[in-house]
Amino acid sequence: MIAELGLAALWLAAALAALQLVAGALALREGGAELAALVRPAAIVQGFLAGFSFLMLLVLFAQTDLSVKLVAMNSHSEKPMIFKLSGSFGNHEGSMLLWVTVMALAGALIAAVERRLPEKTMLATLAAQSFVGIGFYAFLLLSSNPFERLPVPALEGMGLNPLLQDIGLVFHPPTLYVGYVGLSVAFSFAVGALLTRQVTPDFARAMRPWVLGAWIFLTLGITAGSYWAYYELGWGGWWFWDPVENASLMPWLAATALLHSASVLASRDALRTWTIMLGVVAFSMSMVGTFLVRSGILTSVHAFAVDPERGTFILGLLVIYIGGALLLFALRAGTISEGERFSVTSREGALVFNNVMLSAILGIVLLGTLYPLLTEAFDVRVSVGPPYFNPVGAIFVVPMLLVMAVGPLLRWRKDSLTRIRLPIAIIGGALLAALILVSLLSSVSILPLLGLVLSIGLAIASFMPIRGRKLRLLPIATWGMMIAHFGIAVALFGMASESAFSEETLAAVEVGGSADVGDWNVVLTEVRPTAGPNWTALEGRMMVSYKGGDAKEIDPQSRNFWAPPQETTESALVTRWNGQLYAVIGRQAGEGRWQLRLWWKPFVTFIWYGGMLVALGGLLALIGRLMADLKRRSIKSRVAGRRAETAV
Amino acid sequence: MIRWTLWVPLALFLLFCGVAAYQLTQPKDEFIASTMIGQPLPEFDLRAASADRPGLATRDLRDGQPRLLNVFASWCIPCIAEAPQLEALRRQGADIAAVAIRDKPEDVARFLANYGNPYSRIGADDLSELQLAIGSSGVPETFVIDGQGVIRYQHIGDIRASDVPVLLQKLAEAK
């Protein structure tokens, strides 16, 4: 019954999306004005129905209803409740349902709260949002129905991939999805504005909070995913340039560029077509990423249920939506005037430069991800990894970071570097001092060296905008920018330090034996069997001490899950302010010796602290914008109220 | 902005769709053959890994007779599992040379005493040098070497009963 309710709600939501599209499109034409009243309610009800449908799926998983195929394939009665719930989106069908739910809820939210867009653009935006939605409803209902029943209920479920039975993976996919799919709003805004040709600063101001919201979630999702891969996969790496990781990075790069270009449009009425283009590109990257992951066209560690037929379906959706939007762009963008001009040395100039750099990085990541696809057409197998991405990316990251340090100090429209020569001298001095210090202290290869030096320079530069201003009067959004930029510096420092200073020890140790890594001493005191709700494990008990200090116990495990049968490594971490000890226990190496893999990774945690700071900066900027907005609204209504009074 | 540049994004996207559509119609072959197949063995001369069998050098694998080259170690658990299959291969006429990876003579001797000794020669590769040079990344692995010292086939992982006929056939093809 619950499955049928969910399915019915999904069909109704799809029908409402169709209504929303037709009413919106007709209302845009002459004489269709009365249909306009239908569009907003349709969007809101559609959001409720999709949300209800997803809730039903959660209930099915919570109850472990084994007559439903998806539950039988991906769940197990003995799994802890939290992983039963997260199992609902740990598979193809469920995650697509999450996708349309987020999309419908985003549409409902715009319909409910957005009041700044001109009415026509608003209608066009909601029509575009429902148009994209319909394709994904069709995909779900026609080829990936999550509520399908089995002819005969299963006796027991097949379980969820043990790697996904981890608390990090409970939050990572929904967070990432809100970000990923939240960008559909930017896409719909861009298409709406192209349809009505109203690309104005007001449009940018209306779009900015939505992009910011999606971008915050995307930032958090990528940060959490990276940390999960780091501690769960057991090889100590935090980024692999895997197609799926790239699929989440590319929308982030596009959304970051979009945020900044929308700022220019909002403040200075420049970069109109560019902003529209980025709006289209950001969500297009989400869709392309989904296609790459689910069609099985690229080999990836995130092997979802791979199916060429689904791949064909999604490719069809891509052609309709991305192709359609780009066609509209090609036809219409020429009729949108370019907007205001500005000089190269100005806030806009710096933002444009960094927009170009971000786009170049996006292009590089896209090329690297798709390159194997291209060469395979000529029967050449390659895999593209760090030797390509790191140095080629650095060519654009380094100038971007330098401009990012100076850009926020520049004034809008026209400025001169001589006016800010003092801060530039301070930043330059910091860079030079860091360069000398790092190269004297240790021999570090070129990329990590650049990373360390730039991160120190950027950390100082990111708070320079405070100079000469009253702290209390500084807008919250400006704090947000400074903290986000500082977060980039912090994360960069962590990445560079991890790659420059990590130490690794591989040892076969008997119980009672010890091994050293960095300043740590690790003693293996015991290896014992232990059991969890749906796994058994060999647990190594280790006493670890830093520089001969107090010993601390850690217990890395090698776990065996039985449904489905799979072995996972549960690394043990000891976090200090200056880094992390990372310990993995492997197989028995014979003669009672155990394989231990130990790393000391100085300042590695800064990578994720940095990511969180970036998200926090985004949150502050969002709060700042929304508060300014509310203030403006209340002033407007007060002015209107007074006018009404005087008129009487 | 010049008009035609506005069409560039669409053109690039359609190019991507074309390649993707083509790839979707192609059967996906996940099997990647080693690039060492068809390559001659590197020059090496390994000391004997145990007292009762001679060591192994490149010239031993160039005497005109095709052989299996088994990469194993006494500390490797799957190597114990595949011991009966190696014995079966020997009984069906395969000549098996071996390389013991990072091992001590007494450990090798104990291993062979416990699980059988199907090998005609065993070389000791104390630093995994030969192992890396022939493109092997773990133990156990089994190579088919033709009589001229050229690698013809690589089997990764332990040999199961179902792999025995495959290896025998590859051995026959290498003649």
Q: How far does B63 lie from chain A, in Å, by closest CA?
A: 35
Cis peptide before A533, with omega less than 30 degrees from 0? no
3-state secondary structure of B137: coil
Closest CA to A601 of A571, A578, A570, A572: A578
Is residue A17 in a domain?
A: yes
The segment with the largest mean pLDDT, out of A26-40, A261-275, A367-381, B127-141, is A261-275
Nearest-angstrom CA–CA distance, A324 and A284: 11
Portion 107-136 of B in contact with A at CB < 8 A: 107
| A535 found inside a domain | yes
DSSP state letters, A132-195 = HHHHHHHHHHHH--TTPBPSS--SS-----GGG-SHHHHHHHHHHHHHHHHHHHHHHHHHHHHH
Query: What does pLDDT average to over chain A?
Result: 88
Residue whose structure tokens are 């959001």: A47
**What are the pLDDT digits (tens) for A581-633?**
999 888 776 667 888 889 999 999 999 999 999 999 999 999 998 888 888 87
Taking the C-alpha atoms of residue A20 and residue A41, their distance in angstroms, rounded to an integer, is 9
Query: Which of B22, B24, B30 is nearest residue A308 as measured by Cβ atoms?
Result: B24
**Region A444-453: what's the mean pLDDT?**
88
Among A299, A338, A590, the residue with its CB nearest the CB of B30 is A299
Domain extent, residue A591, equals 504-602
**b or e along A220-233 (b: 16 or more beta carbons within 10 Å of the residue's beta carbon)?**
bbbbbbbbbbbbbb
Pair (A5, A152) in one structural domain: yes
Q: Residue A162: count other Cβ atoms within 10 Å of its Cβ.
A: 21
Do B74 and A590 count as a contact with CB atoms less than 8 A apart?
A: yes
Judge whether residue A535 has pLDDT over 90. no
Residues A567 and A473 in one domain: no
Per-residue confidence at A492, pLDDT binned at 50, 70, 90? very high
In terms of CATH architecture, what is B45-173?
3-Layer(aba) Sandwich (3.40)
With beta carbons under 8 A apart, name residues in chain B contacting A381: 32
Residue whose token pair is 């790697």: A163
Q: What is the mean pLDDT of the segment spanning A277-288?
A: 94
Q: Is the dihedral of CA B60, B61, B62, B67 positive or negative?
A: positive
Q: What is the pLDDT of residue B6?
A: 86
Q: Do B77 and A587 touch (CB under 8 A)?
A: yes
Distance CA B86, CA B159 (A): 8
Query: Which of A376, A510, A587 is the best substitution to test chain B (most B C-beta atoms within 10 A)?
Result: A376
Interface contact A315-B10, CB threshold 8 A: no
Chain A hits for B19, Cβ within 8 Å: 370, 373-374, 377
- Mark whether A588 and A619 lie in a shared domain: no
Task: Evaluate whether A545 touches A520 at the Cβ level (below 8 Å).
Answer: yes
- Determine, for residues A377 and B75 on separate chains, whether the beta-carbon distance falls below 8 Å: no
E-only strand ranges, A497-630: 503-510, 514-517, 520-531, 535-546, 552-554, 557-562, 565-570, 572-576, 579-590, 593-602
For A386-438, write each residue's pLDDT tens digit. Answer: 889 999 999 999 999 999 998 888 888 888 888 888 888 888 988 898 888 88
> In the A/B pair of chains, how many CB contacts fall below 8 A?
67
What pLDDT, on a 0 to 100 scale, did the predictor assign at position A646?
A: 73
Closest chain B C-alpha to A302 CA, distance in angstroms: 15
- Residue A324 Cα, gap to closest chain B Cα (Å): 9
Q: Where are the alpha helices (DSSP H) in A233-323?
A: 243-268, 272-294, 308-318
**Type of residue at A53:** S
CA distance A567 to chain B (A): 16
- Tell me how far apart the alpha carbons of residues A595 and A281 are, in angstroms, rounded to a whole number: 47
Residues near A53 by Cβ (< 8 Å), separated by ≥ 6?
A6, A7, A9, A10, A13, A97, A101
Q: How far is CA A296 from the centre of its chain?
A: 21
Q: What is the pLDDT of residue B104?
A: 83
- Inter-chain residue contact B24 with A333, CB threshold 8 Å: no
Contact B75 A370 (CB under 8 A): no
Give the separation between CA A228 and CA A230, rounded to whole angstroms: 5
Q: Which residue has the tokens 């040098």?
A: B129
- What are the structure tokens assigned to A315, written together? 């490719």
Facing residue for A373 by CB, picked from B7, B14, B19: B19
pLDDT digits (tens, 9 = 90+) for B51-70: 888 999 988 888 888 999 99
Q: Are A189 and A125 in contact (CB under 8 A)?
A: yes
B77-111 per-position pLDDT tens digit: 788 888 899 999 999 989 999 999 888 888 888 88
In chain A, the percentage of residues whose pLDDT exceeds 90 is 44
- Percent of chain B beyond pLDDT 70? 95
What's the confidence (pLDDT) of residue A470?
A: 83
Measured distance CA(A475)–CA(A470) in Å, rounded: 10
A519, A548 Cβ separation under 8 angstroms: no
Average pLDDT over every residue of A478-495: 95
Q: Do B32 and A381 count as a contact with CB atoms less than 8 A apart?
A: yes
- Cβ of B6 within 8 Å of Cβ of A330? The answer is yes
Token pair listed for A548: 């001969």
Contact at CB, B32 and A315, closer than 8 angstroms: no
Closest CA to A208 of A257, A266, A271: A266
A376 is a domain residue: no
Over residues A34-61, the pLDDT tens digits come to 888 889 999 999 999 999 999 999 999 9
More confident residue, A396 or A648: A396
Q: Are residues A424 and A516 in the same domain?
A: no
Q: Which of B10, B12, B22 to mutate to test the interface with A (most CBs of A within 10 A)?
A: B10
Scanning B59-78 for CB atoms below 8 A from A yields 74-75, 77
pLDDT at B50: 86
Q: CA A62, CA A174: separation in Å to the nearest integer? A: 17
CA distances to A194, A578, B65 from A436, rounded to whole Å, are: 52, 21, 63
Contacts of B13 in chain A (CB under 8 A): 284, 322-323, 326
Q: Which of A140, A164, A188 is the last residue of a domain?
A: A164
Test A590 with B75 for CB contact under 8 angstroms: yes
Question: Are A534 and A453 found together in one domain?
Answer: no
Q: Given CA atoms A161, A162, A165, A171 in this order, what sign does their dihedral have?
A: negative
B27 vs B123: CA distance, rounded Å:
42
pLDDT (tens digit, 9 = 90+) per residue, A54-83?
999 999 999 988 889 888 888 888 888 888
The strand pair at A520-531 and A535-546 is best described as: antiparallel
Q: What is the mean pLDDT of residues A224-229?
A: 88
Under 8 Å between Cβ of A194 and A593: no
A215 or A335, greater pLDDT: A215
Q: Is B31 on the interface with A (CB under 8 A)?
A: no
Chain B contact set for A312 (CB, 8 A): 21, 24
Q: Which of A603, A588, A583, A398 lies closest to A498 in space, CA to CA?
A: A603
**Beta-ladder partners of B63:** none
Q: Is A617 exposed, middle or buried (0-12, 13-18, 19+ CB in 10 A)?
A: buried
- By C-alpha distance, the chain B residue nearest A273 is B1
Q: Provide the pLDDT confidence category of residue A309 given band limits of 50, 70 and 90.
A: confident
Cα gap A348→A266, rounded to integer Å:
11
Neighbours of A557 (CB within 10 A): 20
Give the residue extent of every domain in chain B.
45-173
Which of B75, B80, B101, B139 is the best residue to mutate to test the A interface, defined by the most A CB atoms within 10 Å of its own CB?
B75
In terms of domains, do A148 and A21 share one? yes
Q: Is residue A492 located within the same domain as residue A543?
A: no
Does pLDDT of B3 surpass 80?
A: no
Model confidence at B30: pLDDT above 60: no
Contact flag A333-B10 (C-beta cutoff 8 Å): no
Higher pLDDT, residue B127 or A348: A348
Q: Are A334 and B30 an interchain contact pair (Cβ–Cβ within 8 Å)?
A: no
Q: What is the mean pLDDT of residues A9-13?
A: 96
Which residue in chain A is spatially nearest to B75 when comparing CA positions? A590
Mutation for B interface: A284, A297, A337, most B CBs within 10 A? A297
Mutate to test the interface with A, among B19, B24, B128 (most CBs of A within 10 A): B24
Q: Does B15 touch chain A (CB under 8 A)?
A: no
Residue A299 pLDDT: 62
Q: Mark yes or no for CB contact A297/B14 under 8 Å.
A: no
Rounded CA separation B86/B118 (Å): 6
Q: What is the pLDDT of residue A44?
A: 95
H or E element: which one contains A5? helix A2-27
Q: What is the 3-state secondary structure (H, E, C) of B46-70?
A: ECECCCCCCCEEHHHHCCCCCEEEE
Q: Flag whether A403 is in a domain.
A: no
CB A205 within 8 A of CB A266: yes
Q: Which of A164, A185, A216 is the last residue of a domain?
A: A164
pLDDT band at residue B31 using 50, 70 and 90 as cut-offs: low
Q: How far apart are CA A620 and CA A627, in angstroms?
A: 10
Residues of B in contact with A591 (CB under 8 A): 75, 107
**pLDDT the model gives residue A602:** 93
Burial class (CB in 10 A: 0-12, 13-18, 19+), A531: exposed
Cβ neighbours of A109 (radius 10 Å): 17
Would the pLDDT of A164 be above 80? Answer: no
**Where residue A92 falls among pLDDT bands split at 50, 70, 90?**
confident
- Here the tokens at position A108 are 């409902």
Distance CA B163, CA A240 (A): 34
Contact between A364 and A389 under an 8 Å Cβ cutoff? The reply is: yes
What is the rounded average pLDDT of the residues B2-8? 81
Cβ atoms of B51 and B105 closer than 8 Å: yes
Q: Rounded distance, CA A346 to CA A415, Å?
A: 5
Q: Is the pLDDT score of A295 beyond 80?
A: no
pLDDT average, residue stretch A106-122: 89
Which residues of chain A make contact with B32, given a CB cutoff of 8 A?
Answer: 381
Considering all CA atoms of chain A, what is the largest pairwise distance in Å, rounded to the nearest integer?
98
Q: Is the peptide bond before A80 cis (omega within 30 degrees of 0)?
A: no
Out of A132, A164, A196, pick the residue that ends a domain.
A164
In this prediction, residue A505 carries a pLDDT of: 86
Nearest to B21 among A281, A296, A315 (CB): A315
Give yes or no for B22 touching A (CB within 8 A): yes
Same domain, A598 and A608: no
The DSSP string of A368-400 is: HHHHHHHHHTTT------HHHHHHHHHHHHHHH
User: What pTM value is reported for the model?
Assistant: 0.85
Mapping DSSP to helix (H, G, I), strand (E, B) and coil, where does residue A507 land?
strand
Copy the structure tokens of residue A605: 């945690």
Cα B155 to Cα B142: distance, rounded to the nearest angstrom? 5
Residues belonging to chain A with any Cβ–Cβ distance to chain B shorter than 8 Å:
273, 277, 281, 284, 288, 291, 295-297, 299, 308, 311-312, 315, 318-319, 322-323, 326-327, 329-330, 333-334, 338, 370, 373-374, 376-377, 381, 587-591
Q: Return the structure tokens found at B123.
A: 């070389």
Number of structural domains chain A divides into: 3
Q: Which residues contact A542 (CB under 8 A, 6 or more apart)?
A: A522, A523, A524, A525, A553, A554, A555, A556, A572, A583
